[in-house]
Structure formats: C-alpha cells, structure tokens
Amino acid sequence: MSTTATALFIIAALAQNQATEITQIDPNSTKLTVDQAVQIAQMNAFGLRVAEQDVAEAKALERISRAQLGPGAQLTAGSTWSRVELSGQQGGTSSTTSSTVQLAVSQIIDISGVYTNRIRSAEFNRKSREAGVAATWNTIQNTVRTAYFQALQAEQLVTVQSTALNAAKGRLEKANIRVREGAIPRFDALRIETEVARLEQEVIRAQGTSRLAKQNLNLAMSRPIESEIELTQVMDPSTLDAEAAALVTTALATRAELKQAELGIKALEQARIADERAGRPSLSLQGFYSQTVNPTGFSPKSNASIGANITIPIVTSGLIQANAATAKAREERAKVLLEQAQLSVALEVRAALTQWETSLAEYKTASKNEELAREALRLANLRYDEQQGILLDVIVAQADLTAAESGVVNARTQLHIAYAALQKAVGRDDITTDPTSAPTSNSTQEPGK
C-alpha cells in the first residue's frame, strides 16, 4: 500500500464517527462549500504530505529492525590466475587458473529478546507516526474551516457596506431633488455626498479584505492563492446538549494526539527494555560452503562448515547501564508530556465550549440589536421625509444599522469558528452524539479525577 493511500486510510478511520457529508467536487466550478474546501485540503495539504513522509520513514526503520534479525546470506565468486617460473635443469614456466564460489549464511537466535524488543519499538513508532497523520488532519480541518468562515465573513461585510452605500446614494438622489425644489438646504445634500464618499471608501476596504481572506483560504487548502472561489452560505450550528465533562471524556478517547503519545511511550518502553537486555548473551549461527571449480594440486575441491557463536559481554564500563538509564529517562519524560497533553486537551475542550456559549449569546444579542437599529432607521427616515426630523438623525441611524448588521455577521462568524474549534478539541465532527459511544482508551479518564 502506498504512503498516500495509507494516510488516507488513517484519515478515513479517524472520521468513521464524523457526520460531515462527502460531496463531489466539480473541477470546472468555482462554487465551494465548506465541506468541499476540507476535501480539497485533504488532497493537497502540505502538512499531510509531510506527515505521510514521516510514516514512510517509520516503515523503513521498521523494515531495518526486522532485517537485523536475519537470516542473511552472501555469495562470493572469484577467480585467481598465477604464473610460476622454475629454476634449474627443469626450468620453465607454468600458469594455473583457479575459480572459487563461496556461500556464507548466518542467523541470529534472539535468546536475549533484544532484537524482538527493537522490532516492537519500531512497530509502535510506525503506529505513532500514523496517529500523527490523523492529528495533523484534525488541525488542518480546523484551519480550513476557520479560513472559510473568515472569507465568508469578509464577503458578507462587503454586502453590508454596499447596501449602506446604495441606501446613501438613493438618499442623495432624493436630497438633490428636494434641494432643487427648495424643500431642504444645500447643506443636507453636501452632508449626504460626504457620507457617500465615506461609504465608497468602506466598500473598497471591505473588498480588499475579502480578496485577502479568499487568498488565505486558498493557502489553507494548499492551492494557488489566486484561484477563483465562490462561497456558499453555511447553516448556523444547532444547539449543543452535551455537558463539558462528557465532551472531555470523548476528547480524551478520540484525540489522535493522545493516541500518538501513548504509542510513542510504548515504543520508548520497548527500546528501554532492549537497552536493559543488551548485557545478556547473544547467539548466532553461521554456515559456510566453498566450491573450487578447477582445483589444482592438493587444493580442496569443496569445503563446508557450520558453527555457533555465543557472545557474553563481560566488561562494558557501565555503557549498558548508561544507555538503559537514558532510555528510561526518555520514557518517563514522554509519560509526563502525555499527562500534560491530557490536561491541555481537557482545557481546550472546556475553553472551546465556553467560547461557543459566549458566541451564541453574542449572536442572539446582535440579532436583537439589528432588529432595533432597522426600526430606528425606518422611523428616522419617516420623520425626515415628513420634515419632522433632521438629516443627522437619519445618518446616525443608518450608521447604527450598518454597525448592527456588521455585528451580526461578526457574531455569526465567531459562532461558526467556535463550533469548529469545539470539533477540533473533541476530535471528531459529530459532537452531539452520546460520548459514551466513543472508543475506549487508556486516557479516557480526565486527569485529576
């Protein structure tokens, strides 16, 4: 199985409990949903490609560990030509050619278990790297979703500012008519012209921010930043019923980072055991066979031997103990880091849930403020049209409505970002499912409880 296929299999296994619907991507369409953006990132993400190479390296190291246990064989063939010059009455010269084929085989008998422990260490290291792919994917999904929501936010703010600009232009047309009719002073028209110029500048600024946000989304998807994007609206997240403690339990059982750390500890444990057993006897078997193709004189035609060697370290000057102590320290350090990671995950879940609850309250408040500001503008326009109010009240009311609409857009964006952060913190998309159905793990118990 190729490295890319392996990584995609790992990601699919991680997402087996997730509720994101897989949608087909039309290569000729610029319209993009948030789920399609995530799919594009899955195909292109630089972080995933780096993680895939980490897995490939770990697989190679595992093969090296298995190869060191044997068996091994070596075939050697050679040919020798010699020339001899004789002295005395029977002087003369003679030449001979001798060709030899040799076969040597060896096999390590792992009586101490050192090689077996090293193979197990390499195997756990490979599994840890595979879990690292899933952990990287979890982060990339959150990055892409956040970038998508921010791009959608910037696009919606362009609409808000454009709506305010169009309203101001319409108000200016009416003002110019009323100036010509002598109903209002020229100053009112000049004030509206100034407001139109200001809003035109705000639209330009919002459009620039929108372009940058879409380019940032393209970067998050690991594709050319100038690629055209047409964003689609996103439904607001539903209300959460899960409690913080249940979500923490789910996260501790689901987060790939914790699985990666646990597998890393197992790899270090096996490496430590191998270092501790390095002082035990080792046994190896060797076999040798030699065949001379054209022997001369008393040269043997063939030769065969079998031997067994046992090696017992006697004096190592404390090297074995030092290596074992180093491996033990690495293992203990990894355990400490795992405890720290568990606490960090628990805090991340609770912080994300708090942010979600805060964002939801802010969104409801912003919606009420928008409703109030819209009614205030309607009344200000009505009083001004009936010459019962002043233009300043209309301008202020319009500015309040624009700010309120922007507040709704910002609050909605923060609500989506908070929900995505909670998905990342829990480690899966479906965070409304009963956490008791989550897979079990050694780290499902929240630290300190």
CA dist., res. 259 & res. 439, Å (int): 12
Query: Per the structure, how many domains does the chain have?
Result: 1
Mean pLDDT, range 119-135, rounded to an integer: 96
180: amino acid identity, one letter: R
How would residue 273 be classed by pLDDT, with cut points 50, 70 and 90?
A: very high
Range of the domain at 265: 3-14+30-78+96-437
Q: Which residues of 215-236 are buried (b: 16+ CB within 10 A; e: fewer)?
A: bbbbebbbbeeeeebebeebee
Helix pair angle (3-14, 46-68), 10° resolution: 110
Q: What is the DSSP letter of 318?
A: T
Tell me: pLDDT of 332 over 60.
yes
Residue 204: inside a domain: yes
Residue 415: inside a domain: yes
CA dist., res. 342 & res. 215, Å (int): 35
236: amino acid identity, one letter: D
- The answer to whether 1 touches 56, Cβ cutoff 8 Å, is no
Residue 117: inside a domain: yes
Residue 219: inside a domain: yes
Residue 141: inside a domain: yes
Q: Using a cut of 0.85, tell me whether the model's pTM lies above it.
A: no
Tens of pLDDT, residue by residue over 346-383, are 999 999 999 999 999 999 999 999 999 999 999 998 99
CATH for 329? 1.20.1600.10
CA dist., res. 353 & res. 247, Å (int): 9
| Residue-level pLDDT at 87 | 65
Residue 445: inside a domain: no
**Lowest-pLDDT range of 132-136, 241-245, 266-270, 422-426:** 241-245
- The answer to whether 105 touches 286, Cβ cutoff 8 Å, is yes
Edge-to-edge strands of the sheet including 302-311?
Answer: 72-86, 92-109, 282-292, 302-311
Residue 85: inside a domain: no
Please list the residues that pair with 304 across neighbouring strands.
Answer: 289
Residue 19: inside a domain: no
| Residue-level pLDDT at 117 | 95
Residue 417: which of 343, 358, 370, 341 has the closest Cα? Answer: 358
